[in-house]
């Protein structure tokens, strides 16, 4: 078998990102030291093993000769495709715990290759785990599927990464599912377009992954979930290819696309999609609004979300989050507001949003920053996203190796439920952190807002004991998930379900709908090979 991989730039096999972007060790140690001091303990460290030292289970199956050219059984490929990139995943990899790696990693270069590998899996009883950028933080690409299968193949779509067609009249593009965020944006840029979908995982997540998990974009309101940008999907199921018609809207029966959106690879593998793209923005305005009370910040954010102004950014950070992420100290809440347009100046929009915030006790100490539209398409959004977000997961790689527990979880709820959800989540998680980790804190920001509710995103920082990370985290996570569900939230707004959220997802999902999905799975994937244990 060959060793074809999707990219030549080396990625970390055990943690987030590209190896050449790793944060220097002394910087990691300095940060870990500051954290450890706050937790009143010493820094422990552990080094991830070399791939050569991993004692991976020998491959249990051999792929047919026709597939061999684009399949790999190298330890590097198998180790890198064993897990996603959650805290659990990184911890297990760092400890060299990879008891269930894929037997084979397939790198299909064409849709026919995808069909061929699924045909083989169905006939041979091999589990098939679709793999986009591998950025899952919920166990969505994990290869632990138990003994029901003779083997497991991880199907890496990374070579299907082309923008195949651009329709400048309808502003849409046909894009292969394996394209990473930067790869597809680079191909859209010469046409003046952007998909304008910037999840934090942008650098190493793919269009197909976004679609399969109902990804939430970087932008805050109106068209933000990837669902809303889909014109049509092409999906390889084990029993045939499903392709929907390119349509701006339709009322012809239940939406075919919405069945596959969120199916997380359990019903088929998305190979390409016609996506709605957008002109690159020319006008932008941003403002930071500070509040003396958190409740005032929430009320102001709700007013903006219900105003019909549709801000592109509307993130409410709590005081601790504002201090750590934005360096704003001494405030109870910071609302980061932004508007942008490719068509018109956005001053009027921003002025009204700021007015609403002031009506709710907000203050705008630094005023509004605006671009005047004369400079064409200066990419502030991507630029500021890069600087604020890109480095965080790289730093986490190092901090996890210093015994720090760093993880996030997220939800969405209606506005009427938020106060109690926020209070009970914060209390429950802080209690759990004290009890289990002996310290730590949880912060909250809104990643998205809707007229009827926010999507709160919680970040945990705590000390763990190296060697005991998993049971510690699992207990914190269970406490958080229980209280999210009890308070009326969803188990996930945009991180997806995967294997990690399965117990809570099954409780949240209407039972009749669960039976419907099981029936669909039996029809489309009768051998049950696709991502076993996920969704269905």
- Smallest gap from Cβ 384 to its own copies, in A, equals 20
The answer to whether 526 contacts its own copies (rule: CB under 8 A) is no
- Smallest gap from Cβ 534 to its own copies, in A, equals 9
The answer to whether 282 contacts its own copies (rule: CB under 8 A) is no
Cα–Cα dist 229/238, whole Å = 26
The answer to whether 263 contacts its own copies (rule: CB under 8 A) is yes
- Enter the tokens of residue 140: 């969505």
The answer to whether 191 contacts its own copies (rule: CB under 8 A) is no
How many chain residues bind its own copies (CB under 8 A)? 98
Cα–Cα dist 314/446, whole Å = 8
Cα–Cα dist 111/160, whole Å = 8
Q: Which of residues 373-402 bind its own copies (CB under 8 A)?
A: none
The answer to whether 413 contacts its own copies (rule: CB under 8 A) is yes
Which 3-state string (H, E, C) describes 169-202?
CCCEEEEECCCEHHHHHHHHHHHCEECCCCCCCH
Q: Which is nearer to its own copies, 348 or 434 (CB)?
A: 348
The answer to whether 126 contacts its own copies (rule: CB under 8 A) is no
- Enter the tokens of residue 64: 């047919």
Q: Which is nearer to its own copies, 74 or 306 (CB)?
A: 306
Measured CA to CA in angstroms, residue 205 lies from 150, 155, 250, 459, 480 at distances of 29, 14, 29, 20, 26
- Please give the radius of gyration of the chain, using alpha carbons only, rounded to the nearest integer: 23
Q: Which is nearer to its own copies, 107 or 415 (CB)?
A: 415
Q: Which is nearer to its own copies, 65 or 512 (CB)?
A: 512
The answer to whether 446 contacts its own copies (rule: CB under 8 A) is no
- Pick the piece of the chain touching its own copies (CB under 8 A) from 74-82, 207-215, 393-401, 437-445: 207-215
- Smallest gap from Cβ 448 to its own copies, in A, equals 7
Q: Which is nearer to its own copies, 105 or 184 (CB)?
A: 184
The answer to whether 497 contacts its own copies (rule: CB under 8 A) is yes
Q: What string of DSSP letters covers 492-527?
A: -SSS--TTTTHHHHHHHS-HHHHHHHHHHHHHH-TT
The answer to whether 261 contacts its own copies (rule: CB under 8 A) is yes
The answer to whether 241 contacts its own copies (rule: CB under 8 A) is yes
Backbone angles phi, psi at 271, to 5 degrees: -105, -30
Label residues 495-509 b or e (16+ Cβ within 10 Å = b). Answer: bbbbbbbbebbeeee
Q: Which of 492, 527, 530, 531 binds its own copies (CB under 8 A)?
A: 492
Q: Are 149 and 161 in contact (CB under 8 A)?
A: no
Q: Which is nearer to its own copies, 187 or 263 (CB)?
A: 263
Q: Which of residues 340-369 bind its own copies (CB under 8 A)?
A: 341-344, 348, 352, 356
The answer to whether 130 contacts its own copies (rule: CB under 8 A) is no
Backbone angles phi, psi at 4, to 5 degrees: -60, 125
Distance between start and end Cα atoms, the chain: 32
- Pick the piece of the chain touching its own copies (CB under 8 A) from 42-50, 86-94, 397-405, 517-525: 517-525
Q: Which of 251, 327, 330, 367 binds its own copies (CB under 8 A)?
A: 251
Q: Which of residues 283-302 bind its own copies (CB under 8 A)?
A: 302
Q: Which is nearer to its own copies, 370 or 470 (CB)?
A: 370
**Cα torsion through 127, 132, 138, 142, rounded to 10:** 30
Which of 466, 399, 468, 480 lies closest to 432, judged by CA? 480
Which of 511, 499, 482, 321 lies closest to 411, judged by CA? 482
Q: Which of 260, 446, 457, 458 binds its own copies (CB under 8 A)?
A: 260
Cα–Cα dist 82/338, whole Å = 39
- Pick the piece of the chain touching its own copies (CB under 8 A) from 24-32, 64-72, 140-148, 519-527: 519-527
The answer to whether 242 contacts its own copies (rule: CB under 8 A) is yes
Cα–Cα dist 347/309, whole Å = 11
Cα–Cα dist 389/235, whole Å = 31
- Smallest gap from Cβ 236 to its own copies, in A, equals 10
The answer to whether 508 contacts its own copies (rule: CB under 8 A) is yes
Strands (E), 309-367: 313-318, 333-341
Q: Which of 12, 187, 206, 244 binds its own copies (CB under 8 A)?
A: 244
Q: Which of 365, 383, 451, 467 binds its own copies (CB under 8 A)?
A: 451
Q: Which of 155, 177, 395, 535 binds its own copies (CB under 8 A)?
A: 535
- Pick the piece of the chain touching its own copies (CB under 8 A) from 126-134, 240-248, 286-294, 359-367: 240-248
Q: Are 462 and 441 in contact (CB under 8 A)?
A: yes
The answer to whether 490 contacts its own copies (rule: CB under 8 A) is yes
Which of 471, 466, 530, 478 lies closest to 503, judged by CA? 478
Q: Which of 39, 109, 450, 482 binds its own copies (CB under 8 A)?
A: 450
- Pick the piece of the chain touching its own copies (CB under 8 A) from 34-42, 183-191, 436-444, 486-494: 486-494
**Cα torsion through 85, 87, 89, 93, rounded to 10:** 110
x/- map, 159-178, its own copies, by CB under 8 A: --------x-xxxx------
Q: Which of 89, 231, 272, 321 binds its own copies (CB under 8 A)?
A: 231
Instruction: Tell the burial category of 9 from Cβ atoms under 10 Å away from its Cβ (0-12, 13-18, 19+).
Output: exposed
The answer to whether 96 contacts its own copies (rule: CB under 8 A) is no
Q: Which is nearer to its own copies, 180 or 496 (CB)?
A: 496
Q: Are 396 and 16 in contact (CB under 8 A)?
A: yes
Q: Which of 162, 386, 465, 509 binds its own copies (CB under 8 A)?
A: 509
- Pick the piece of the chain touching its own copies (CB under 8 A) from 11-19, 156-164, 423-431, 503-511: 503-511
Q: Which of 10, 164, 247, 423 binds its own copies (CB under 8 A)?
A: 247
């Amino acid at each position: 078998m060959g060793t074809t991989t999707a990219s030549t730039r080396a990625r970390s096999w055990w943690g987030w990102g590209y190896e050449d972007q790793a944060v220097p060790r002394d910087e990691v140690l300095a940060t870990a030291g500051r954290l450890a001091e706050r937790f009143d303990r010493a820094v422990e460290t552990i080094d991830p093993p070399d791939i050569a030292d991993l004692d991976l289970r020998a491959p249990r199956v051999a792929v047919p000769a026709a597939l061999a050219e684009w399949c790999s059984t190298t330890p590097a490929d198998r180790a890198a495709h064993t897990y996603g990139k959650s805290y659990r995943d990184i911890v297990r990899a760092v400890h060299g715990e990879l008891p269930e790696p894929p037997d084979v990693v397939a790198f299909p270069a064409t849709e026919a290759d995808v069909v061929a590998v699924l045909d083989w899996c169905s006939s041979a009883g091999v589990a098939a785990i679709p793999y986009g950028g591998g950025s899952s933080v919920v166990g969505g690409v994990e290869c632990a599927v138990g003994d029901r299968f003779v083997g497991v193949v991880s199907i890496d779509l990374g070579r299907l990464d082309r923008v195949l067609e651009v329709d400048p009249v309808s502003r849409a593009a046909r894009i292969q599912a394996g394209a990473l965020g930067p790869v597809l944006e680079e191909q859209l840029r010469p046409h003046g377009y952007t998909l304008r979908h910037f999840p934090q995982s942008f650098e190493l997540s793919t269009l197909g992954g976004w679609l399969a998990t109902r990804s939430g974009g970087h932008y805050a309101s109106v068209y933000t979930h990837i669902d809303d940008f889909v014109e049509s999907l092409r999906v390889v199921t084990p029993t045939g290819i499903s392709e929907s018609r390119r349509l701006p809207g339709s009322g012809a029966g239940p939406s075919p696309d919405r069945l596959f959106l969120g199916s997380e690879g359990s019903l088929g593998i998305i190979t390409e999609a016609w996506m709605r793209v957008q002109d690159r923005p020319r006008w932008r305005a941003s403002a930071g609004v500070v509040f003396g009370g958190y409740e005032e910040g929430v009320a102001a954010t709700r007013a903006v979300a219900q105003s019909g102004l549709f801000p592109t950014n509307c993130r409410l950070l709590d005081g601790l989050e504002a201090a750590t992420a934005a360096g704003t100290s001494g405030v109870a809440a910071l609302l980061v507001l932004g508007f942008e347009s490719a068509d018109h100046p956005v001053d009027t929009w921003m002025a009204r949003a700021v007015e609403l915030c002031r009506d709710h006790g907000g203050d705008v100490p630094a005023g509004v920053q605006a671009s005047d539209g004369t400079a064409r398409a200066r990419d502030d959004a991507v630029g500021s996203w890069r600087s604020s977000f890109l480095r965080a997961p790289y730093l986490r790689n190092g901090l996890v190796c210093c015994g720090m527990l760093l993880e996030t979880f997220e939800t969405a709820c209606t506005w009427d439920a938020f106060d109690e959800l926020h209070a009970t989540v914060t209390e429950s998680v802080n209690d759990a952190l004290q009890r289990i980790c002996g310290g730590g804190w949880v912060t909250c920001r809104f990643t998205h807002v809707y007229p009827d509710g926010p999507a709160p995103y919680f970040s945990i920082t705590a000390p763990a004991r190296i060697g005991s990370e998993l049971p510690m985290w699992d207990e914190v996570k269970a406490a958080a998930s229980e209280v999210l569900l009890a308070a009326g939230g969803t188990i996930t707004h945009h991180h997806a379900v995967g294997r990690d959220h399965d117990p809570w997802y099954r409780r949240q999902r209407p039972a009749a709908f669960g039976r419907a999905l099981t029936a669909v799975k039996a029809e489309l994937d009768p051998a049950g090979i696709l991502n076993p244990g996920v969704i269905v």
